[in-house]
Structure 1
């Protein structure tokens, strides 16, 4: 492909909207294996058995909306204004209240307000706050991004990462943090999943949307590396990376 094709891919991906947590723009341009456990289905089961639930860092609300089975009291938090608007539009008709809240303590709810707290791919996990807002006997149920997720892509842009960074989000670390907050971890599963990026536009879109992957990412800052990546994909085929996902369920003692 010509240099102009690279510029076209860059322009297209740079202009694509990245609000919400819908990745359909990547259809045909990137793939990612899904965890075997089916988080959204399991989430629906737990929501159906709850009386008051909170979904933390709900994004655009797509995963929560698809789970259904909302309890009588259903709330969600989100910090990014475009996502707050999208989640409100999607979840309010279903009976959920979306609360604008920063991704840091405290959560804007009273102690023991919920018997279920959930989250899918939270950027940060504040275990003490989760424990605080859970009722005795309540449950935290979540799918977290695991350790070394997409590190092939991260290191392509940032270079080799330290072992300390590689240990972040490790299930053993999260178990210790949950237990330190007074929660009992009753289920914990880890899977490593294959990802493929078929063009450089897919990479740009992904990095613009999942902003913590390469935190200082902009097209201008990494244009030379993006061009190298484009040429590599043209030469060798899809860029292969791997994500990790952790299913975790923790309970507050009764």
Structure 2
């Protein structure tokens, strides 16, 4: 089977939850200078009412071992919502499908902590949901994430996420909404692909970063990346991450 046929096979692979384990041994991500999981656990108390925004398939949430009766989740992607209904609801975790970030179906001052890893949010709505002194912890994918690779692969590339979506602008938004910043950081880690098939799988899933990507449309560029990979053993892209830990301080 030739390279193109292999790449076309990768393009067809199914994806569920938010689990990239299929390409784990074919990629390498530079560790972040902070540990989201460690930060969440540092603040989390078993008595807290917890909301996990954009839970995916609930994989990370379940790893926390938080009491199910004190736990709610939101998710927007229909296949993941179905997965959550099957996996989380029977445990007693409340699952809500959310399409509009500015209308979350929960009561005012309901949660002690809202966590959010790589999910969009309306900071005023998060503020509404939190109890006084409640905590908001979010790690975000910044607007420069994989942008150079996207521009290389996609002819006439038009960004969907603005490059201005960064730490400084979000810290300002969070503070203006009535929060005190407890921690903030930003980093641009590398991700390396050790075969182009892994990159194809990755780009097909993250369609908002690689709009209109397909093996057929981008075949020439993929061949150029294959040549780079054969010379240096990998193709590298730069990601963009930032984290904010904030406490609700105003009503």
The TM tier, using the shorter chain, reads 0.7 to 0.9
State the match for 2:32 in structure 1.
35
Cα distance in 1 for partners of 2:47, 2:33 equals 24
The total of aligned residue pairs comes to 250
State the match for 1:234 in structure 2.
230
* 1:55-94 map, 5 Å: 55-70=52-67, 72-92=69-89, 94=91
CA distance 1:50–1:149, shift in 2 (3 Å): farther
> What per-residue deviation string (whole Å, max 9, x for no partner) do you get for residues 136-177 of structure 1?
1111012111342222312212479899x7642211000111
Q: Which of the numbers 77, 93, 98 marks the counterpart of 2:95?
A: 98
Cα distance in 1 for partners of 2:225, 2:83 equals 33
Cα distance in 2 for partners of 1:168, 1:50 equals 37
Cα distance in 1 for partners of 2:116, 2:169 equals 18
Q: Displacement of 1:83 after TM fit?
A: 1.2
State the match for 1:136 in structure 2.
132
CA distance 1:145–1:100, shift in 2 (3 Å): same
> What per-residue deviation string (whole Å, max 9, x for no partner) do you get for residues 203-241 of structure 1?
111112223211332333323322332333234431111
Structure 1: gaps spanning 5 or more residues: none
Q: Secondary structure at the match of 1:152?
A: helix
Q: Displacement of 1:120 after TM fit?
A: 0.6
> What per-residue deviation string (whole Å, max 9, x for no partner) do you get for residues 100-152 of structure 1?
11153211112222111111111x22111111111111110121113422223
State the match for 1:116 in structure 2.
113
Structure-2-length-normalised TM-score: 0.88
* Greater alpha carbon shift after TM alignment, 83-92 vs 206-215: 83-92
Cα distance in 2 for partners of 1:217, 1:160 equals 12
